[in-house]
Amino acid sequence: MSGPLMGNRRMGNGLMGAGGARRCRAARALGEGRMHVVATAGHVDHGKSTLVRALTGMEPDRLEEERRRGLTIELGYAWTALPSGERVAFVDVPGHERFLGTMLAGVGPVPAVMFVVAADEGWMPQSEEHLVALRTLGVRHGLLAVTRADLADPAPALRDARDRLAEAGLGAVEALAVSGRTGEGLDGLRAALDRLVAALPAPDPDAPVRLWVDRAFSVRGSGTVVTGTLPAGRVQTGDELELDGEPVRVRALESLKEHVDSVTGVARVALNLRGRIAPERGHALVTPGAWTTTDLADVRVTLAEGARGPLPARLTAHIGSASVPCEVRPLGAEAARLRLARPLPLHLGDALLLRDPGRGQGEPRVLARATVLDVRPPELRRRGAARERAKALAEASADAASLLRTHLLLRDGELAAMGCPPEGRPVAAGWHADPDHWSGLSARLPEAVRRYAADHPLEPGMPVEAARHELGLPDRRLVTALVRPPLTAADGRIIMSGRAVAGTAGLPAPVARAVRALLDDLAEAPFQAPEAGRLAALGLGPRELAAAVRAGALLRVAEGVVLAPGADTRAAALLARLPQPFTVSQARSALGTSRRVAVPLLEHLDRTGLTERMDEVHRRCRPPRG
Ligand SMILES: Nc1nc2c(ncn2[C@@H]2O[C@H](COP(=O)(O)OP(=O)(O)OP(=O)(O)O)[C@@H](O)[C@H]2O)c(=O)[nH]1
Ligand SMILES: [Mg+2]
């Protein structure tokens, strides 16, 4: 077994891509079925490694020290084909109490477990501790092997252990008596493993990648290599991934010592990486942008079997192959804020196992499950903020709706990076909103526009940017999405259309006074639009006139030509009394005005449909519509 990357590192020549033919033969011998990964668990010396060795013919204890001491110290890897052709790779964990951290790193990313109990010793402290850990991590698939059945009657240990596993949420697991030494029961165990893997849910090949590194080393000529259990998703040669925020490229890829171009979870993989990185166990390779890398998370705390609260303020958090010291700040009875000593890529719903590394023998060390509820929790500076947050977390679940209650507005990409596919349609350009917050904003906008119009009477409406600022929104497109009648948006501004009262009321006092003076002039001679001089004398420049027109205080028929509101319908009524069709000249004298006003006024009447042109010279009035 001289595979370069996956197996025994000391024995490998480490040339990815070299020796392919030999490996391909090995791969064919192993079968082409789907791959599954199963971790071992159980008390020290109960026969886990012996059983893995007997099942696979491979040596899980790679270190010289392990063989000398007859003890597993590091994670071991071995694999075989099952009778069905499906392939199973074992992650063999140490049972010694001192290596609980390593055991958790092995089990962390693995969906199923082979729980090993020695027939001659029965249930022991690390049997219990491993079971509590599995339960805390949410491992729900497994089988029970009561081994060393050549040394004692396996029946009592089998009965006892089966009941304990069932109670711990692993359900009615298959339980078998075997011997790693004599080989008794191994065929039955292989068949049971086949049934176990057949029942495992198929992971999503399109899921974002998060590969927790369990080993990292460099291979001469190839560079950095990491191995791990890929729980879901797909990794391919050439992929661009991220490790600790640094981009890395997958140069080559192996699975069970076989060179492959692409692999989907669940799988044991070895990746040859290019990038400025120094990977270690506990780092994760992730799909860029698909995870939120954070050192702060709000979590729901579920105490482990046998543990009592309150939790100590300093613990170690385990997820995947990572173990990270953390500070625990309780928020209410069931929630807490974790401050991690280094950032981890997390999703909502992830389970962290909280362990007290300081506890002595006999005391529970696996203390709690921390289910991630928020990966970007809000600051708690204000008085009472912690209490409010505790209340919110008590009602929260690990979904988009709960997140939006806290964050109010989130983009598609942010939700995805938090592990929450958005529910429902976006309110605008990829933005999702908390429904209550959105209807609150929707009620505030007309008020803001009204206030703005009162404060800026000469402006044609509230600039969208001002509204964005006023409502505290991160994107102008959110403002536009909030515009609905009677609001309208045009030219980057929001206008309150159909104002209730047309007139000078909303205009600044000097403008209102000037407009009233104009209207007095027009009352005498309704179609003699004021000359430029008169407008200038009254202080009515283009801005003031535009404001008066918007307010409905004046009617604008052309640039610089304004009349009293309603002058157009009055004109149409007068023109209707003329013999039809009529000329501009006839209209001009009927209205008592000049060509300067008559021409644009008639064009305005054409546009509004009160008159229509017959030819170059003639028009006629159109009967009122409807
Ligand atoms: N007679 C007998 N001895 C066994 C059997 N399985 C394991 N042993 C012996 O039990 C001892 C421990 O076996 P391991 O397989 O190293 O136990 P382990 O569970 O891997 O131990 P750790 O990894 O250190 O937790 C060794 O001396 C084995 O030879 C078995 O089925 N029958
Ligand atoms: Mg072992």
Per the structure block, which two tokens stand in for 397?
């679940």
Q: In the chain, pLDDT over 70 holds for what percent of residues?
A: 93
Kindly tell me if the per-residue pLDDT of 17 is higher than 80: no
pLDDT tens digits for range 88-118: 999 999 999 999 999 999 999 898 999 999 9
pLDDT winner (highest mean) among 24-38, 375-389, 541-555: 375-389
Per-residue pLDDT tens digits for 61-85: 999 999 999 999 999 999 999 999 9
Concatenate the DSSP letters of all residues of 183-249 into one string: -TTHHHHHHHHHHHHHTSPPPPTTSPPEEEEEEEEEETTTEEEEEEEE-SSEEETT-EEEETTEEEE
Does the structure show a pLDDT above 50 at 3?
A: no
Is 70 near ligand 1, meaning CB less than 6 Å away? yes
pLDDT for residue 524 is more than 50 = yes
Give 258 or 13, the one with higher predicted confidence.
258
CB of 178 closer than 6 A to ligand 1? no
**484 Cα: distance to centroid of ligand 2 (angstroms):** 68
**Angle at alpha carbon of residue 260, lines to 254 and 264, rounded to 5°:** 85
- Classify the C-alpha dihedral 545-546-548-549 as positive or negative: positive
8 A C-beta contact, residue 270 and residue 227? yes
Give me the numbers of helices (H) and strands (E) for the chain, helices first please: 19, 30
Both tokens assigned to 65: 């020290």
Residues 6+ apart with CB under 8 A from 291: 208, 210, 345, 346, 347, 417, 419
Of 236-245, 449-458, 479-488, minimum mean pLDDT range: 449-458
Write down the pLDDT at residue 2.
37
Residue type, 472: G
416-460 pLDDT, tens digit each: 999 998 888 899 989 999 999 998 998 899 889 888 887 887 777
Amino acid at 613: R
State which residues have CB under 5 angstroms from ligand 2, the bound ion: 48-49, 72
Of 145-149, 171-175, 321-325, 468-472, the least confident: 171-175
What strands lie across the sheet with 76-81, from one edge to the other? 76-81, 87-92, 35-41, 112-118, 141-147, 174-177
pLDDT digit string, tens, across residues 551-597: 888 899 988 899 988 888 889 889 999 998 999 999 999 999 999 99
Task: Report the pLDDT value the prediction gives residue 30, as an integer from 0 to 100.
Answer: 56
Predicted TM-score (pTM) of this structure: 0.78
Cα–ligand 2 centroid distance for 74 (angstroms): 9
Q: Which of 342, 407, 400 is nearest to 378 (CA)?
A: 407
Amino acid (1-letter code) at residue 180: G
Sign of CA dihedral 276, 280, 286, 290: negative
Instruction: Pick from 40, 43, 45 the residue to mutate for probing ligand 1's pocket: most ligand atoms within 8 Å of its CB.
Output: 45
> Quick check: 211 pLDDT over 90?
yes
pLDDT classification of 8: cutoffs 50, 70, 90: very low
Structure tokens at 268: 């044991």
Identity at 2, one-letter amino acid code: S
Residue 356 Cα to ligand 1 midpoint, Å, equals 28
Average pLDDT for the chain: 89
- Please give the residue that has the higher pLDDT: either 56 or 421: 56
Closest listed residue to residue 268, CA positions, set 324, 215, 223, 224: 215
Q: Whose CA is nearest to atom 7 of ligand 1?
A: 47
Instruction: Give the dihedral sign, CA 213/215/217/219.
Output: negative
Angle CA(323)–CA(325)–CA(327) in degrees, nearest 5?
Answer: 140
How confident is residue 358, by pLDDT bands cut at 50, 70 and 90? Answer: confident
> What are the residues facing 229 on neighbouring strands?
212, 268
